[in-house]
Amino acid sequence: MKPGVPDDAATEAIRIAQVHRVTSSAIRPDTDLLARECAVALEFNGVSHAVMLATPLDLSDFALGFAVSEGIIDRAEQCYGIEMHEGDEGWTARIEISASCFARLKQSRRNLTGRTGCGLCGVESLTHVFRTLPDLREAGALLDPASINHALSELASHQAIGAATGATHAAAWADPRGNIRIVREDVGRHNALDKLIGAGLRANSAGWRDGFLIITSRASMEMVQKCAMAGFGTLIALSAPTDLAVRLAQEHGICLVGFATPGRWTVYSHPQRLAGLPTDHASVNATAQISQRG
């Protein structure tokens, strides 16, 4: 295995493949590391709800995070238990939720087919695209831009599977000082964020929502929705946001940052969450480019 890959992660999330390395002067046999991808069926109170394609690691976190970020349950206490079962064709997560949440789920039935890309596959009508989101203008702590730079500088060192395979996204939770506390990886960017949300809720960490989230992908509308459903006021993306993601962030009080690298990033909405930044909306609409020293 490549250096820096923990044994448990390597066993569950990485496979060795026989390959041939081709250069202009030679062809030689070699091995490579691949991120595993498998089907994960999610059942709520015995009823099949979705089949996802995911990296088979931290699947209990994934199940809980999915239930919260998709609005199936409102809080972790409404999940009474999660049992993971491995079969020949993949994994099944058997999730027990409260009767009231299950009744709501049946009423607003969705049939999702596994995804690693777009997040709306299987939505039955346009009315299901936009769900009711909380207003997060008062959520979370005022953040020092230096804290964001610190977290961005440390993120790569927490991506063991990505470093080994080059095939996974990561989602991270950092505290208000920029210390990365939890990281989850997956072949799907949505899955990585769901795993992170589930892990944070299961850990019941103090000050959980005072920190901020970092994703290694673009910030799509659904990634902003998941951030909002988890109650976070700041989302940092290493890549670009979409226009709909920016609109949702503006409407629901989320500070959305894109193109984030240490010392340089772009703030798209609610800069007042960051110490020292202007608070007028004109600066947001102009997409201010921000450079800070960590």
5 touches 55 (CB < 8 A): no
Tens digit of each residue's pLDDT (9 = 90 or more) over 97-133: 999 999 999 887 644 444 444 444 444 444 455 668 8
Q: Provide the pLDDT for residue 288.
A: 44
Q: Provide the pLDDT for residue 140.
A: 73
* Whether the predicted pLDDT of 271 surpasses 60: yes
List, as own/partner pairs, every contact residues 112-116 make where C-beta atoms lie below 8 angstroms and the sequence separation is at least 24, other chains included: 112/49, 112/50, 112/51, 112/52, 113/50, 113/51, 114/39, 114/40, 114/50, 114/51, 114/52, 114/53, 115/52, 115/53, 115/188, 115/190, 116/37, 116/53, 116/187, 116/188, 116/189, 116/190, 116/191
Q: Provide the pLDDT for residue 85.
A: 97
Is this prediction's pTM over 0.85? yes
CA 19 – CA 6 distance, rounded (Å): 23
Which of 159, 137, 148 is closest to 237 using CA atoms?
Answer: 148
244 touches 265 (CB < 8 A): no
Q: What is the mean pLDDT of the chain?
A: 86
By mean pLDDT, which of 5-14, 58-67, 91-100 is the weakest? 5-14
All domains in the chain, ordered by first residue: 38-128 (3.10.20.10), 145-291 (3.40.140.10)
CA 268 – CA 285 distance, rounded (Å): 7
**Sequence letter at residue 238:** L
Average pLDDT over residues 164-185: 96
Q: Provide the pLDDT for residue 277.
A: 77
**Sequence letter at residue 86:** E
Average pLDDT over residues 141-150: 93
b/e for 110-136, b at 16 or more Cβ within 10 A? Answer: bebebbbeebeeeeeeeeeeeeebeeb
Residue whose pair of structure tokens reads 């979409």 in the numeric block: 242
| Virtual torsion, Cα 71, 198, 118, 133, nearest 10 deg | 30
228 touches 134 (CB < 8 A): yes
Catalytic residues: 118
Tens digit of each residue's pLDDT (9 = 90 or more) over 13-55: 999 999 999 999 999 999 999 999 999 999 999 999 999 999 9
Tens digit of each residue's pLDDT (9 = 90 or more) over 196-234: 999 999 987 767 888 999 999 999 999 999 999 999 999
